[in-house]
Amino acid sequence: MKRIIKVKSPFTLAGIWLWCLAGFFLILLCNCKNDEQKSITNNVDKTPVWFTAKHLNSGVWRISDHGYDNIHLVLGSEKALLIDTGIGAADLKGYVRTITGLPLLVVNTHGHADHAGGNYQFDKVYGWAMDFYLSNNYNTQYYHDNTIASILKESPELEPVLLKERGVVNTEIIPVREGFVFDLGNRKLQVIETRGHTGGSICLLDSVNRQLFVGDTNNEEEWLFTSVSLPLDVYLQTLEKLNARAAVFDTLFPGHGGRIDKSFISEQITCVQNILSGECAGEPFNTGHALFCTYKRAKIVFDPNRLHSPN
């Protein structure tokens, strides 16, 4: 089944937008571990820039969405795959064309606004249907206008690079499920369903090149306290599922922060187990109701009232 992005009443989106916008700026403050520093101006003419990119290895680029999130671009011999579309504030489609002219496939790892907010710039976007309601809400004119206004309030010098006129685009949203393969020619990426951060989160596995693109499933600071997150025991099942396939990948490419080795998944598993067993009671996070626990590199932020699935 295929779905089309529809504009909803601003009154139904106001609460969603305010929650997400606060999250954006918190992520930005916490996102200081990227391998490269965010560029503020062009070194030649001093005009502002929004996107910067780093070539991580053969055929893989990490595009920084002005520090809000990581967008990954994977190049094959025949096609390219854009993994996530960022917050949609600037011309991502045009920027990608400065890197490659290959036919482009686009996929969302999940429906949050910092990963699917730019869907409106593309004719077709793939994703797990369980998160379509999220990505559709974040691709409205109302949401876009408020995002741009908030950015300009904080950083008016960025006005030349922002898409103030979003335009009307009927993006075709195409559902994928476990095992779906994006064939780029000489490389293939397989969908793995990874419920937890949201109900419709996915990862993309390139087993030949031993790479796993994880979206927000495996961040060093993992958020599992939002209204669309699933209970912690569901997320543990996802981690164990990924760990069971660890023989076919070495490196994780997360939606925030730098790439990390696969042993990190085991650290996340231990962290979650410590929460579920009561060994770690948790410390207050900065949202008012959430708590967090840490184990080595892993930090899990969780809702203490949503640890276990209903019987």
Q: What average pLDDT does this structure show over 128-157?
A: 96
CB 286 within 8 A of CB 297: no
Any domain includes 37? yes
Residue 250: which CATH number?
3.60.15.10
Measured CA to CA, the distance from residue 119 to residue 161 in angstroms comes to 18
83 within a domain of the structure (yes/no)? yes
Chain mean pLDDT for the chain: 89
Number of domains in the chain: 1
Residue 191 lies in a domain: yes
Tokens of 116: 């699917």
**Whether the predicted pLDDT of 17 surpasses 70:** no
Q: How far is CA 2 from CA 5, 171, 177, in A?
A: 10, 10, 13
Structural domain containing residue 94: 3-302
30 assigned to some structural domain: yes
Per-residue pLDDT reduced to its tens digit, 194-210: 999 999 999 999 999 99
Q: Is 69 within the bounds of a domain?
A: yes
Residue 186 Ramachandran class (φ > 0 left, ψ -120 to 50 alpha, else beta):
alpha
Instruction: Report if residue 309 sits inside a domain.
Output: no
Say if residue 22's pLDDT is above 80.
no
Q: Looking at residue 37, what is its pLDDT? A: 38
Using DSSP's 3-state secondary structure scheme, residue 74 falls into strand
Measure CA 113 to chain center. Answer: 8
What does the DSSP assignment read for 203-242?
EEEETTTTEEEEETSS-SEEEE-STTPPPHHHHHHHHHHH
| pLDDT for position 26 | 42
- Burial (Cβ within 10 Å: 0-12, 13-18, ≥19) of residue 251: middle
**Quick one: what percent of the chain has pLDDT higher than 90?**
81
Determine, yes or no, domain membership for 180. Answer: yes
pTM: 0.87
* Distance between CA atoms of residues 234 and 195, nearest Å: 7
Chain segment 102-124, per-residue pLDDT in tens: 999 999 999 999 999 999 999 99
Question: Which tens digits make up the pLDDT trace of 251-270?
Answer: 999 999 999 999 999 999 99
Backbone phi, psi, residue 4, to 5°? -115, 140
Reported residue count of the chain is 311
Q: What pLDDT is attached to residue 30?
A: 40
pLDDT over 50 at 144, yes or no: yes
Question: Where does the pLDDT of residue 21 fall: very low under 50, low under 70, confident under 90, or very high at 90 and above?
Answer: very low
- Note whether residue 269 is domain-resident: yes
CA separation for the pair 56, 60 (Å, rounded): 6
Q: Mean per-residue pLDDT for 168-172?
A: 85
Higher pLDDT pick, 165 / 223: 223
Confidence of residue 45 (pLDDT cuts 50, 70, 90): low
What is the rounded CA–CA span in Å between residue 106 and residue 206? 16
